[in-house]
Structure 1
Amino acid sequence: MDLELRHLRTIRAIADAGSLTRAATALGLAQPALSAQLKRIERSLGGALFTRGRYGVRPTALGELVLDRAGVLLPAVRELQEEAVRFARAWDGMPRFRLGGTHGPLLGALVDRLATAHPGTSVTTRTSWSEREIAAQVVEGRVDFALVGACGESPPPAADRLAWREIAVDPVFVLLGRDHPLAGQREVELAQLAEEAWTDVPGDGCFADCFAAACARAGFTPSRVYETDTASCVHLVQVGRAVGLCRATFPPTPGLVTRPLAGAPLSWRHLVGWHPGSSAAGVAASVVAHTRAAHTEAAARSVSYTRWLAEHPGFGVTPPAAAPCRDRA
């Protein structure tokens, strides 16, 4: 039997799981089938790859050698496949902008700016609630640019594979009904909202944990948090069922107001990412500039944020010279 990549992936899965039972579950196989496959692989390599004990399996010296080589070969093959996909989907001299983004107003504004600046050029979008999914689509060559957010100082997804530029840093505001008792305040203490239910949009970063920690510092635990789409968040706030967590650039909406949380306990970083080896890298500077302009326009439409920014110069659009560079080859 010739050794194949799938055999190396099987060996890697067994080592990662630490037992044949767990590895079989992860691979979607019956344990007897996995055991039989492992025996065939071991025969082809000339010896046992794992020792079996009551607490699972451990690599033998031969197993360590094979795992060491697999640690080089498997990532190299994966990168070859991804590079081939990007090459096959190259622009062929025809400019285009394939954008992937999460929820928020900046994606639509960026589409509008690119379509205006490059008439006749194809501008397409993909959206997902998952920042990691959008980043993976860039890595795979399915989209050219990712427009996502990161909570606080948390790193962007696929930071070791993509180049990232910080567009802006916004505080997280609270979204209130216009008749809410706190709607008339210029800013709201988080502790003043201790008895409220909350609503916000989903994501796969650390925002939920950071919000819970901020509430704990303010002396309370949220009674409930409704995680749903933007339209449902707006409805829940409008009918008084909850107060919302929103970006400071949340557009003006009838019946609602946005107010800063005192001390800015939560912040949100807007990021644009692309693969440094893709054709998109050649126009990345233009996309970044358009995204910064779109954020500036969005911020200007919010009276509460414009007023707040004048007193907090550390927030808002990140100057190009100060924007963190997260390039990875």
Structure 2
Amino acid sequence: MELELRHLRLIVTVAEQGSVTRAAATLGLTQPALTAQLNRIDRTFGAAVFTRDQRGTRPTALGEFVLGRAKVLLPAMSALVDDARRIVSDREERTRSVRVGTASTAIGGLFVNLLVSRLDAEVTSVTLPDVDDVVEQLASRALDVALVGMCGNASPPAAGGVRWWRVSTDPVFVLVPDDHVLAARPVVTLAELADSAWLGVTGGGCFQRCFVTACARAGFTPGKVNEADRSACVDLVRAGHGVALVQPTFPDTPGVSVLPLAGAPLQWAHHVGWHEVGAPLPVDGMVDSAVRAHAEAVSRSSPRFLGWVGPQRHNHGAMTSG
């Protein structure tokens, strides 16, 4: 007879009960059936596991050794089964639900909509404060896929198992009120905006440093920079409280004008990322969804963006690893 886990459980129960009769009742066996199994176990080991006398059933020296090992093996096997079931459950849950993260991008909603149309799963999305948060959650697999925007001179931080694809690199434009002296111009220079108050320069990574550097190359140091979200930027610019740097896919909005900056001194890039283990779509499917999201945003954007960027508006990069 080969020893099995059920035999170890039987030995542990007999030792805990201190009686073959009580152990048989606990195990749902008859006493003769339990005694027969104990005899087979003894023959397998070549010696008795228990000794029986008027005080009850007690383990022998061999029995104590077997009990010590059984009390290690049984919990370990139970944990193995629980962990295996959890992995299966997680995989099934991952199939049913795809978690999408976005940060610093104006095309996140379009990207999520495209994933919803392509995946036979529930898609949930979350907007995170910055790219570092997204990378951390991709690495831990709290997110399945992500779309982020950041300075065109930078790449997302490296993290184990995380892969990135640069979707597009676009010039950054400037938002001015319609009654601004430069509003009718087809293109403006940073130097012409030297005396402006700046709004919304909140890009993560090196973007603010790149902005200050671009201003220095244009011959001036920018004044106070006020952080503001997209909606606040529009209201403040419309009211004449400053100008704002915006992603070029910013749509036409009453009261404000989106202007290209000569020489494209600042750029903004979009990256789609995923964890190499358990990606919700093939790589080309995720990249294609991000590219299509960007293309749709371009089609809705200011005509000046289409005229400025022209056929090169999709500048795709290579995949990077973490």
Compute the TM-score of the two structures, normalised by the length of structure 2. 0.68
- Separation in 1 of the partners of 2:264 and 2:166? 19
Mapping for residues 252-291 of structure 1, pairs under 5 Å: 252-277=252-277, 279-280=278-279, 282-291=281-290
Task: Note the alpha carbon deviations across 1:169-190, whole angstroms, 9 max, x for none.
Answer: 1000001111111110111110
- Which residue of 1 is the match for residue 186 of structure 2? 186
Code of the residue aligned with 2:318 in structure 1: it is P
**Structure 1 residues 87 and 309 mapped into 2: Cα distance closer, same or farther (>3 Å)?**
farther
- Which residue of 2 is the match for residue 325 of structure 1? 319
Q: How many residues align?
A: 236
- Which residue of 1 is the match for residue 166 of structure 2? 166
- Separation in 2 of the partners of 1:148 and 1:86? 29
**Structure 1 residues 326 and 281 mapped into 2: Cα distance closer, same or farther (>3 Å)?**
farther
- Separation in 1 of the partners of 2:106 and 2:149? 12
Bigger mean CA deviation after superposition, 175-184 or 96-105 = 96-105
Task: Note the alpha carbon deviations across 1:265-315, whole angstroms, 9 max, x for none.
Answer: 0011100111112x11643321221110111111122211100112xx5x4
Bigger mean CA deviation after superposition, 255-264 or 120-129 = 120-129
Contact kept in structure 1, 2:105 and 2:147, CA below 8 Å: no
Mapping for residues 61-100 of structure 1, pairs under 5 Å: 89-92=90-93, 94-100=95-101
- Which residue of 2 is the match for residue 122 of structure 1? 122
Code of the residue aligned with 2:321 in structure 1: it is D
Bigger mean CA deviation after superposition, 143-152 or 289-298 = 143-152
1:109 pairs with 2:110: yes
What's the offset of the Cα at 1:164? 0.5
Contact kept in structure 2, 1:132 and 1:157, CA below 8 Å: yes
Contact kept in structure 2, 1:198 and 1:225, CA below 8 Å: yes
Structure 1: give runs of 5+ residues left out of the alignment.
1-84
Contact kept in structure 1, 2:104 and 2:130, CA below 8 Å: no
Structure 2: give runs of 5+ residues left out of the alignment.
1-85
Code of the residue aligned with 1:205 in structure 2: it is G
What's the offset of the Cα at 1:161? 4.1
Contact kept in structure 1, 2:101 and 2:127, CA below 8 Å: yes
What's the offset of the Cα at 1:162? 1.3
Contact kept in structure 1, 2:139 and 2:160, CA below 8 Å: no
Task: Note the alpha carbon deviations across 1:219-243, whole angstroms, 9 max, x for none.
Answer: 1111111112111111111111010
What's the offset of the Cα at 1:136? 0.6
What's the offset of the Cα at 1:151? 1.1
Contact kept in structure 2, 1:131 and 1:203, CA below 8 Å: no
What's the offset of the Cα at 1:86? 9.0
**Structure 1 stretches of at least 4 aligned residues deviating more than 3 Å after TM superposition:** 85-93, 281-284
Contact kept in structure 1, 2:106 and 2:247, CA below 8 Å: no
Greater CA radius of gyration, 1 or 2?
A: 2
Contact kept in structure 2, 1:276 and 1:327, CA below 8 Å: no
**Structure 1 residues 87 and 274 mapped into 2: Cα distance closer, same or farther (>3 Å)?**
farther
Mapping for residues 28-47 of structure 1, pairs under 5 Å: none
**Structure 1 residues 185 and 326 mapped into 2: Cα distance closer, same or farther (>3 Å)?**
same
Task: Note the alpha carbon deviations across 1:131-188, whole angstroms, 9 max, x for none.
Answer: 1011111111111112112312312123554110011110000011111111101111
Code of the residue aligned with 2:314 in structure 1: it is V
- Separation in 2 of the partners of 1:248 and 1:219? 24
- Separation in 1 of the partners of 2:307 and 2:295? 14
Code of the residue aligned with 1:306 in structure 2: it is L
CA root-mean-square deviation: 2.2
- Separation in 2 of the partners of 1:86 and 1:309? 47
Task: Note the alpha carbon deviations across 1:63-105, whole angstroms, 9 max, x for none.
Answer: xxxxxxxxxxxxxxxxxxxxxx998743457243311111433
**Structure 1 residues 318 and 91 mapped into 2: Cα distance closer, same or farther (>3 Å)?**
farther
Q: How many percent of aligned residue pairs carry the same amino acid? A: 39
- Which residue of 2 is the match for residue 62 of structure 1? none
- Which residue of 2 is the match for residue 292 of structure 1? 291
Code of the residue aligned with 2:243 in structure 1: it is V
- Separation in 2 of the partners of 1:146 and 1:117? 15
- Separation in 1 of the partners of 2:246 and 2:214? 15
- Separation in 2 of the partners of 1:201 and 1:219? 19
